[in-house]
Amino acid sequence: MGHRDGYTAFVSSGVGKKISTTLGLPQPVALRRHVPGRPLVDGPLLVGGHGTMPALAALRATLDEAGAVVVDEVPEEGRLGGVVVDVSSATAPTDLEALRATLAPALKRLGRCARVVIVGADPASATTAAQRATHRALEGITRSVAKELRAGATANLVLLTPGSEGAALGTVLFLLSARSAYVDGQVFRTGVATSQEPADAATPLAGKVAVVTGAARGIGADIARTLARDGATVVCVDMPSAGASLAKVANSIGGSALQADVTSPDAGARIMNHARTRHGGLDIVVHNAGITRDKLLANTDSERWGSVLAVNLTSILAMNEHFLAKDGLRDGGHLVLVSSIAGIAGNRGQANYAASKAGVIGLVDAYAADKGLRRRGITANAVAPGFIETEMTARIPFATRELGRRLNSLAQGGLPIDVAETIAHFASDAQSGVNGNVVRVCGQSLLGA
């Protein structure tokens, strides 16, 4: 629960629940978040559908291994921890009835923070119009179900491409897990994975060297901590003015700190050089540093315009000259860029910020399509956070802040750890087939698609 979100604490109390229910106010629940050793889902998991996802058998085996109880029908008693329905082999809209028939009884019996994961095929790889329409329909179903769910439950869609089942399994597991607490109503496209599963599932990033910009506080600090938790050695980068807190974060995770303004012309070379000489190379780059300078466009001067574009977008392009050079990221490396829902939906007073964050999505599209990078197995994905409880959002005036916080399917803001978990997921080699995705970590914000 966000430490500044007094309302969620209020409705969790007996009196608060009564008052808020009577008034028809939003009912956020404390989300289930990752705790090592805890089961994947809370309660039995219904696995259904008539898809031919070969990974479904593997999924059952993996879930068995993970200690999840897999059932074929809604049990007579108790609540489900989640439901996975594979309709990847559907060819016509009439096949969607099977999905409805599996989901309808299950949705009535979902427990707190339960998971709905629908597995379809990427519409782009369909061979007929009917098939393409059917798989596109899954998006509408997923996004609607996500809006209907209550009590912290989420619904997401995983799309397969031929041969992607390995990567898809990892994505399904991520979406079932507590790591995806604030990921809701999203579509994950999977591709063919080229890497092996990690030797130790608890440390999928073992042996990797990662750079995180803007790591002194907020989302960046949690990204650094999460990558380190997952086994990576992390280079934490932030402004010299944030040096003290930067050193604290780096020391707490056994990483190294590098003071650099990402807009300075030598930032990319310095970071690359630091990673190479101190840690022997570089595998993961998370471009997280970002600023806002809000004003209506009519009142935006060139300084406000330029500074936001320089930090949030141009610096990434310039630093990537070094990270993506032949002697930069090692083969099989991963870039993860931090966008924003403002870059998808636009936001009043944020034309400069939305430009930079939409531009970030353009960068991901370009890198994901780059043949040279593909040959080297380098992936690029973006995470677009919605309302996350940080110092950036604490500065928003109260009424606007409260709106941003509540106008999503989970009726609460996310925590920095929620963004960090999705980034760590994209940074893992098991996700080497996942490229060019833009996933929102926004509790299904009503802003944007």
Binding residues vs ligand NAD (CB under 6 A): 213-214, 216-220, 238-239, 242, 261-263, 288-291, 311, 338, 340, 385, 387-388, 390-393
We find the least distance from the C-beta atom of residue 416 to ligand NAD, in angstroms, to be 6
- As a whole number of angstroms, the distance between CA 337 and CA 380 comes to 8
Decide whether 106 or 316 has the Cβ nearer to ligand NAD. Answer: 316
Decide whether 73 or 266 has the Cβ nearer to ligand NAD. Answer: 266
We find the least distance from the C-beta atom of residue 354 to ligand NAD, in angstroms, to be 11
Contact between residue 411 and residue 151 where contact means Cβ atoms under 8 Å apart: no
Q: How far is CA 265 from the centre of its chain?
A: 30
- As a whole number of angstroms, the distance between CA 398 and CA 226 comes to 30
Provide the 10 A C-beta neighbour count for residue 400.
Answer: 12
Chain position carrying tokens 């489900």: 80
Contact between residue 165 and residue 404 where contact means Cβ atoms under 8 Å apart: no
Residue 408 is given by DSSP the state B
Chain position carrying tokens 């940080």: 390
We find the least distance from the C-beta atom of residue 311 to ligand NAD, in angstroms, to be 5
Decide whether 393 or 437 has the Cβ nearer to ligand NAD. Answer: 393
Tokens of 14: 């007996």
Decide whether 170 or 387 has the Cβ nearer to ligand NAD. Answer: 387
Q: Is 353 a catalytic residue?
A: yes
Gyration radius (Cα) of the chain, Å: 21
- As a whole number of angstroms, the distance between CA 445 and CA 167 comes to 27
We find the least distance from the C-beta atom of residue 115 to ligand NAD, in angstroms, to be 24
We find the least distance from the C-beta atom of residue 386 to ligand NAD, in angstroms, to be 6
Contact between residue 319 and residue 286 where contact means Cβ atoms under 8 Å apart: no
- As a whole number of angstroms, the distance between CA 409 and CA 211 comes to 32
We find the least distance from the C-beta atom of residue 137 to ligand NAD, in angstroms, to be 30
We find the least distance from the C-beta atom of residue 313 to ligand NAD, in angstroms, to be 10
Decide whether 220 or 333 has the Cβ nearer to ligand NAD. Answer: 220
3-class SS string, 318-378? HHHHHHCCCCCCCCCCEEEEECCCHHHHCCCCCHHHHHHHHHHHHHHHHHHHCHHHHHCCC
Catalytic residue (choose from 7, 182, 353, 367): 353
The torsion angles phi and psi of 397, rounded to 5 degrees, stand at -55, 150
- As a whole number of angstroms, the distance between CA 357 and CA 107 comes to 35
Decide whether 85 or 242 has the Cβ nearer to ligand NAD. Answer: 242
Chain position carrying tokens 């034309």: 351
Decide whether 43 or 413 has the Cβ nearer to ligand NAD. Answer: 413
Which residues share a beta bridge with 118? 85, 157
Enumerate the H helices of 88-217 as residue ranges: 96-107, 129-148, 165-176
Task: Give the catalytic positions in this structure.
Answer: 353
